[in-house]
Every structure is written in structure tokens, then in C-alpha cells.
Chain A
Amino acid sequence: MTAVQMLGTSLLLALFVLLAGCYGVLYCLARLRASRRIGRAAAAAYALQGLTAGLLAFSPLDFWWKALLLASFVAYLPIPPLTWRLLENLHEPEEQHS
């Protein structure tokens, strides 16, 4: 790996997780404000994360690391909605009683 390849790959990796975070945050805001617009922004963040994963496919990382990146890209998708649903279900009985 050359110096420039190292730099590019590491920055893309940071962007990958950062966009996952953006997707999560925007998803939550979309649910909180029941806003379709913010929901679309969340989808856009996830799409950008996918684009980043696509760019990383051209990096000099070994095949299995690229496979792991693809798998984790898929794994990031359900985390915000599942977590949100879990939290709602956990809180629901409390709200019924209060």
C-alpha cells in the first residue's frame, strides 16, 4: 500500500462509520418529528455510506476485509429501527401505567 492509498483508505473508513452515525441520528429525528423529509435524509446518508463502501472496494484492502465492510454495511441498516422499536416496546407498558 502506498502512502496516498493508506491515507485515502483510512479517511474512507472514517467516513463509512460517520455516515452510519448520520443515518442513525437522522432516522431517530425522523421518528421523533414524524418527518418524511428527515426520513429521506436518513436514507440518503445510508446510501452515501453504501457509496463509501463501494469506493472502498477499489482500495488495496484484502478481499476479506472488503467482504466484512459489505457485511457490516448491511448490518448497520436495521440497527436504528430495531433499537428504536425495542426502546418503544420497553417504554410502552410504563406509559400505559402512567
Chain B
Amino acid sequence: MYAEDPAFWRAGAISTTLVMLIVLAFLTVDSIATIRPGGANVPDYTVINKEIRYEFDSESNRYRPVIGADQPLFGRVYSAEQAEQAMRLGKLVIQSRNCMNCHTFFGNGAYYAPDLTKAWLDPAWQQMWMPMTQAATREEAIAIFLMHPEKFPTWSRQMPNLKITREEAEALVAYLKWMSAVETNGFPIHFGHIQTNK
């Protein structure tokens, strides 16, 4: 009986695997094009010069990032090259300081500290940290916090001081701003809005 013949199942295993791999290859080509900076879902790095919002879109029935008017970062308008350099440095900060083992990015990482996908849009910067740090802008407050988190705690679980320099802090802020503009299919759900009906 064919079902008792290992060769039958071997053929099944090989063909199934090949079909799945071919489909994955095609989907990867399409996905990579979509997630490239400037692609459909991921904005160009120069989006850090713009205002970013996260609003409900009734057509797609989910929250989506909205790119608005000009909004310089640290009082500067970054050229394409400067933006790319800032992103590169920002990502190196994230990796060298092992941020992913306390925080999450797009929900991936560790769960000891908040998710940073939309951290740029967190109301806490205006409500808590700008007063605490006496910073004039949101990005300044974030940078000051990153360089000395031990001076500006907001609850009993503290972020350690990771010796982040001024240059690194600014790059990291730019990175977080860019990341908040990525289209994540609605994650995190209704960020910044409290749902009262259980």
C-alpha cells in the first residue's frame, strides 16, 4: 500500500517543501520592496523632518500613521544623507546598548520596558518629561532623558544609565521618530487612546 512506502511520503515532503519555499521567495521579493525606505509601508528617512500622527482610518478600519507638515527635529532640517547617517547611528545605539532585551520594537524584544514602536507619539513626553527636564521641545526632553534616565524616573522600575552621548541620543530620537511613521497594520491598537467600554 502506497501509504506504507516511505518513498511516497519522501516525495510528499520534498514537493511540499519546495512549493512553500517558492511561494516564500516570491512573497519576500514583494515584501522587501514594500519595507524599503520609501516603499509603500516604510517612509523615507527624511520623514524625520515632518510631523507624524497616528489616526484611525475608516476605510481600512485601522489606525495608520499620517505624515503631516514640516516639523524640524532639534531645530534642523536633515538632508537625505544626514538623515541616513542619523538612522545608521541610531540603530547602532539600539544594538550596542542591547535595548531589545528590555524594550520591544514592533512588539519584538523583551517586555520589561515599554514598546517603542510609537514612543515618539507618547503623550508622556509632553505631560511628564518636558516639565521634568525643562526642555523646550519633545525631542530635547527625550534626548536629555536618554542621557540621564536615572534623574527622571516616572515609576519604580528604572532605566539604567547606558552612557549614551549627546550625538547618540539625537540619532536615537531621530530613529524613534522615523519608526513611529512605519505602517504596522494597526499595531499597537489605538495608541494613545483609552478605550472605556470593556
Contacts and interface: CB of A to CB of B under 8 A. Distances in A.
A86 B3 CA distance: 7
Contacts of A2: 195, 197-198
A3 to B, nearest CB: 5
A4 interface: yes
B184 to A, nearest CB: 17
Contacts, number: 13
B11 interface: no
A93 B1 CA distance: 12
A75 interface: no
A16 B156 CA distance: 40
Size bracket of the A interface:
under 10
A96 interface: no
Nearest to A4: B198
Contacts of A86: 3-4
B195 A3 contact: yes
Contacts of B197: 2
A89 B198 contact: no
Contacts of A3: 195, 198
A89 B1 contact: yes
A3 B194 CA distance: 11
A90 interface: yes
Interface in B3-40: 3-4
A93 B195 CA distance: 63
Nearest to A82: B3
B183 to A, nearest CB: 20
Interface in B133-159: none
A90 B4 CA distance: 6
Contacts of A90: 4
B3 A89 contact: yes
Interface in A1-42: 2-4
Nearest to A85: B3
Nearest to A91: B4
Interface of B: 1, 3-4, 195, 197-198
13 contacts: A2-B195, A2-B197, A2-B198, A3-B195, A3-B198, A4-B198, A86-B3, A86-B4, A89-B1, A89-B3, A89-B4, A90-B4, A93-B4
Given A2-B197, A4-B198, A89-B1, 10 more contacts: A2-B195, A2-B198, A3-B195, A3-B198, A86-B3, A86-B4, A89-B3, A89-B4, A90-B4, A93-B4
